[in-house]
Amino acid sequence: MTQGKNKIGKWSACIKSWDGYPPFVKWGIGAFLLSVVAFVLYVGYLDSLIRKKFEGNLWSLPAVVYARPLELYPELAISIPELEDELQLAGYRQDRRAEDPGGYDRQEGVIHLVTREFNFPDGVEKSGKYTLQFTNDTLAGISRTDSGEVVNGLRLDPARIGSFHPKQHEDRIVLSREELPELLVESLLAVEDNNFFRHWGLDPRAILRALLANTMAGETVQGGSTLTQQLVKNFFLTNERTLWRKANEAIMALLLEAHYDKNEILTAYVNEIFLGQDGGRAVHGFGLASFFYFRRDLKDLSPAQIATLVGMVQGPSYYNPRKYSERCLKRRQVVLEVMRTKKVIDERTYEMAKSASLDTQEVTGNAFNRFPAFLDLVRRQLAEDYPEEALTSEGMKIFSTLDPHVQKVVEQQFAATISRLERNTGKRGLNGAVIVTRREDGEILAVVGGRNFLQSGFNRALVARRQVGSLIKPAIYLAALGKGYTLATPVDDTALTLANQGGKPWTPANFDRTEHGRIPMYLGLAYSMNLATVRIGMDVGVEEVVRTLKDLGVNGDFPAYPSFLLGAVSLTPLEVTQMYQTLAAGGFYLPQRVISSVLAADNTLVKRFGLSVEQRFLPEQVYLLNSMLQHVVSEGTAKNLSRFMSPSYNVAGKTGTSDDLRDSWFAGFTGDQLAVVWLGNDDNTSTGLTGASGALEVWGEIMRALHPQPLDLVEPEGIEWQWLKPATFERSSSPFLFAREQVKLPFIGLASPAIGGSSENDPQDSPVNGVDGVMKKIINWFNRR
């Protein structure tokens, strides 16, 4: 009880003494206490900021997209220059003598190559040294350089073609402490923070030393910041030079050191430091910088190269070795002298590094972000399975179907041919798109979305909806074959008038404004006769043609108007490619693919995109249609393709031209590849080009350069071949004697040539007189074109 009274008495005395202080003292003490509380709260805020960042994902790692890996084997048709292009795109470098991973050297008919270790979806492939021998643009043999052991096959690590960045557009290759070369660590600390393992985030001696040096020089010549302070500035703060920022930097450096191990801080610094700019991509960390400047893994860098990167920490733009080589060399020399003085390297290593060239690799040959149109398509497919955050922050590895060789050929031939067409027509502003796929599985090998291949933005291959003209006609003829028509069914190519949208009369016409009388059906497609095609479509039913188009893989709501039969429908090049992919696959629907596999950041398999196949049409009917598409090329509107490719390729294809020559199309396929080309002006004005005089020429130049396989259509069971005299519609199992014009056509079983048409199409009632002259007229007109 007595003790309680004593305490109360003491508090009372304190209060009385407090009352005795002047007001300004009371206010001063109160302000001080509030400042202390505010400071503690602010430090707590900074502490929570650091903990939240360091205990979560330190960086948003973009998803990285790779091209298809190049598989090499004896007898592969590939030249040394073509292989060098692939190696350059994949980030390989040409050395005087290939010794380290990622290097190759070239001799007469031989390439020595050291592959890099790589995590493929089916496992890791170790680095190895190989000798590749070539004969006449063919890979003759593969052997191990060290032992001479013959190798039957070799898979190269694929080119890194792009990534999906968050808004800050930063990129890095994140390394663990164990992956950091000790030479780099020791050199970095010797130059930037010699007391790193002895201070607590701040180094008073370094600050005083820098202050003295800067005072004597009259300008800032030396910094006193520790690595921890630099990391805080790069990670949490800005580069503004204010006392407030410096105070925050000092507090956060102390907090960072209090919570985390020195090696954690060092590793974070090595991965975070900004070391250059690759277009719109910021190069962060020594791991990516090593590859960006030298095309080497960090562990494979020489002392001179490490000194170059360490020297660039002070100013990546100012000491850029590609732009300012002399400046960079002087800075490297300073770093090398520090490394020698601090016993990081010995005298012999110093002398060798001092005399070494910068040895930076040009960035122009790199495939990174070189194919924005293709990456658009990759992103579109990924969006079906993954949220945007996963693509920009979780470091997924996307293995795509891009074939760098095909892409390069497409870009070169597309640009050259468009320029030639503009010179010939005297018009400017022509643009277009190209998509190339593998015929057998629908994998997209190359995409061009416009004339500026490196520019992101409007991707015409994916989003440009343009009228397709006669490209729609195979859907009509396929629907007719499903209703019993044959290639020999007589069809009238004569004028007609129909009610179209809103009941308005519609009178279609042929491109040459000529009627061609009664013809066999296959000639209607071969010569793209509008009148015959409309009659077939109306007989089959426009609704049935629309269903056929959708079964070919083109989704959408298409009004079943008669004008639909002549291509009054707008599709993208990608949609047209899917349509013709189904035809090229023999009636099997193959959803087009741009992704083969996805790995997580830790290289575990997330998803494999397998081949999906669905039969949509009878193989016999598609076989007949594809035979007609071969007639388009051998004798019809695409006959000029023979200027680029031998008729022995047996190409199947179709030209397309919209009204007023606004759009020029060609879609066709060989034995192994399918390609669709669209040409047009972005303002939808006339190009002055038909499908045959524009897009076909681009297609022909591309395929001539790609050396595709000939098309050998697989004949289904139940197909019979007969000879036809187009003038009289007579058929025979053997050639007609003395017939001037006859053609051998496929039929399904013993179908009658008149099946499917109206009774007036019966050949017995056909007026034979003048048909020979009509055929000659058609052929002569198209030859003149």
Which are the catalytic amino acids? 192, 470
On the CB side of 294, CA atoms within 13 Å amount to: 24
Cβ pair 450, 458 in contact under 8 A:
yes
Axis-axis angle for helices 473-482, 619-634 (nearest 10)? 140
Q: What are phi and psi of 527, to 5 degrees?
A: -105, 10
* DSSP label of 434: E
Q: What letter represents residue 134's amino acid?
A: F
CA distance 172 to 179: 14
What's the token pair of residue 123? 């496992």
- Classified as helix, coil or strand, 278 is strand
- β-strand partners of 141: 133
Task: Name, in order, each residue with C-beta under 8 angstroms of 585's C-beta and a sequence gap of 6 or more.
Answer: 439, 440, 442
How, if at all, do strands 490-493 and 517-520 pair? antiparallel
Provide the 10 A C-beta neighbour count for residue 21.
12
What's the token pair of residue 2? 């007595």
Residues for the chain: how many in total? 785
Using the structure block, give the residue that is written with the tokens 């130059």. Answer: 191
- β-strand partners of 466: 571
Using the structure block, give the residue that is written with the tokens 């040959």. Answer: 365
- β-strand partners of 593: 443
- Classified as helix, coil or strand, 677 is strand
CA distance 515 to 239: 77
Cβ pair 235, 54 in contact under 8 A:
no
Closest CA to 674 of 590, 738, 549: 590
- β-strand partners of 71: 155
CA distance 745 to 724: 7
Instruction: Give, rounded to a whole angstrom, the gap between the first and last alpha carbons of the chain.
Output: 121
- β-strand partners of 755: none
On the CB side of 762, CA atoms within 13 Å amount to: 4
Task: Name, in order, each residue with C-beta under 8 angstroms of 653's C-beta and a sequence gap of 6 or more.
Answer: 629, 632, 633, 638, 641, 666, 667, 668, 669, 696, 699
- Classified as helix, coil or strand, 644 is coil
What's the token pair of residue 739? 């017939």
Q: Judging by beta carbons within 10 Å of its beta carbon (0-12, 13-18, 19+), is residue 698 exposed, middle or buried?
A: buried
Axis-axis angle for helices 473-482, 530-540 (nearest 10)? 40
Cβ pair 698, 680 in contact under 8 A:
no
Closest CA to 533 of 494, 581, 503, 583: 494
